[in-house]
């Protein structure tokens, strides 16, 4: 365990008191959307970890084939705040199921000494016991399609959704929702994650202003349809696994 990795389970104490989802100014377009790697959690100089969504086929899970771009706004376009890091290690959750999309989470460990700046800052991990109540406001971000079947967004998009009760969600979705999944969306339709947003964050701000990653964009039945909320990996269910993998 690197000496400057905090031991605390949640984002507190020795961690920065400002935790934000990486996003550049000007990326406040109401939209839906993202490419892989829009989420990274809890980077302290030497314990940078990123969650994302990846198919655990061998060619995807090889660290050498990945670069992490942090602080990005326009896809593939670096700016004064962008940092680029090699990926040191990829850990795909052992329970990942390609059909049910259960266990849809993986971790990327980045090369150390990441420099934080105004656009690169850690997001907090919720404790395993944390409950995100139905109705709570959450934000999704990404570069995915802005209409179903459409092109990915050039610049990072964000949209506001709400946590939806799982029992209610099961009545709305055709496919099974496991206890490792979490629903969020706007039931009236029009706001959602879509193709290319997978792996991105579902972020919730607590009363003290800290931002927590409640979910990871995973799947849905279409995009932004009425009564078809998006489905997210429920991060609290993987909190202990994440801790074990990070070695903190
Ligand atoms: C996708 O394919 C995808 N409406 C992600 C999220 C949603 C749909 C599709 C949710 O990456």
Closest-CA residue to 18 (of 157, 160, 117): 117
Name the one residue in this structure whose structure tokens are 């656009």.
119
Distance (Å) from CA 196 to ligand 1 centroid: 7
Q: In what order do the strands lie in the sheet with 106-110?
A: 49-52, 106-110, 83-92, 67-70
Predicted complex: ipTM over 0.95: yes
Annotated active-site residue 102? The verdict is no
CA atoms 9, 15, 17, 23: torsion sign:
negative
CA of 170 from ligand 1 middle (Å) equals: 17
Q: Is 55 annotated as catalytic?
A: yes
- Torsion over CA: 28, 29, 31, 33 (sign): negative
Per-residue pLDDT, 1: 25
Q: Verify whether ligand 1 is closer than 6 Å to residue 142 (CB atom).
A: no
Q: What is the sign of the dihedral through the CA atoms of 22, 97, 241 and 68?
A: negative
Is the Cβ atom of 223 under 6 angstroms away from ligand 1? yes
Report the nearest atom of ligand 1 relative to the CA of 229.
4
Q: Is the CB of 216 under 6 A from ligand 1?
A: no
194 Cβ closer than 6 Å to some ligand 1 atom? yes
**What's this model's pTM, rounded to 2 decimal places?**
0.82
What pLDDT was estimated at residue 51? Answer: 42
Rg over CA atoms, the chain: 17
Q: How far apart are CA 7 and CA 142, in angstroms?
A: 30
What sign results for the dihedral spanned by CA atoms 77, 81, 87, 89? negative
Render each residue's pLDDT in the chain as its tens digit; 248 residues.
222 333 333 343 333 333 333 333 333 322 222 222 333 333 332 233 344 445 556 567 788 878 888 888 888 888 888 888 888 888 889 999 888 999 999 888 888 777 888 778 778 889 999 999 999 999 998 888 999 999 988 888 889 999 999 999 999 999 999 999 999 999 999 999 999 898 899 999 888 878 889 999 999 999 999 999 999 999 999 999 988 888 75
The CA distance from 44 to 153, in Å, is: 29
Sequence-distant (≥ 6) Cβ neighbours of residue 101 within 8 angstroms: 181, 218, 219, 231
Distance CA 69, CA 133 (A): 32
pLDDT of residue 123: 80
Q: What is the pLDDT of residue 58?
A: 59
């Amino acid at each position: 365990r690197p000496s400057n990795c905090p031991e605390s389970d949640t984002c507190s104490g020795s961690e920065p008191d400002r935790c934000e989802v990486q996003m550049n100014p000007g990326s406040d377009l109401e939209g839906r959307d993202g490419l892989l790697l829009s989420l990274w959690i809890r980077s302290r100089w030497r314990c940078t970890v990123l969650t994302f969504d990846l198919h655990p086929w061998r060619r995807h899970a090889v660290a050498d084939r990945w670069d992490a771009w942090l602080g990005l706004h326009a896809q593939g376009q670096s700016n004064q705040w962008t940092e680029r890091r090699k990926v040191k290690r990829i850990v795909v959750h052992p329970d990942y199921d390609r059909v049910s999309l259960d266990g849809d989470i993986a971790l990327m460990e980045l090369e150390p000494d990441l420099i934080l700046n105004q656009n690169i800052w850690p997001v907090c991990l919720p404790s395993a016991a944390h409950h995100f109540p139905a109705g709570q406001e959450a934000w999704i971000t990404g570069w995915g399609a802005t209409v179903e079947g459409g092109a990915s967004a050039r610049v990072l998009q964000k949209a506001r959704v709400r946590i939806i009760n799982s029992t209610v969600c099961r009545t709305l979705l055709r496919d099974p929702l496991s206890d490792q999944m979490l629903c969020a969306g706007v039931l009236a339709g029009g706001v959602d994650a879509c193709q290319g947003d997978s792996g991105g964050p579902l972020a919730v701000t607590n009363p003290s202003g800290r931002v927590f990653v409640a979910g990871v964009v995973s799947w849905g039945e279409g995009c932004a349809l009425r009564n078809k909320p998006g489905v997210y990996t429920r991060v609290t269910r993987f909190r202990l696994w994440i801790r074990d993998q990070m070695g903190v």
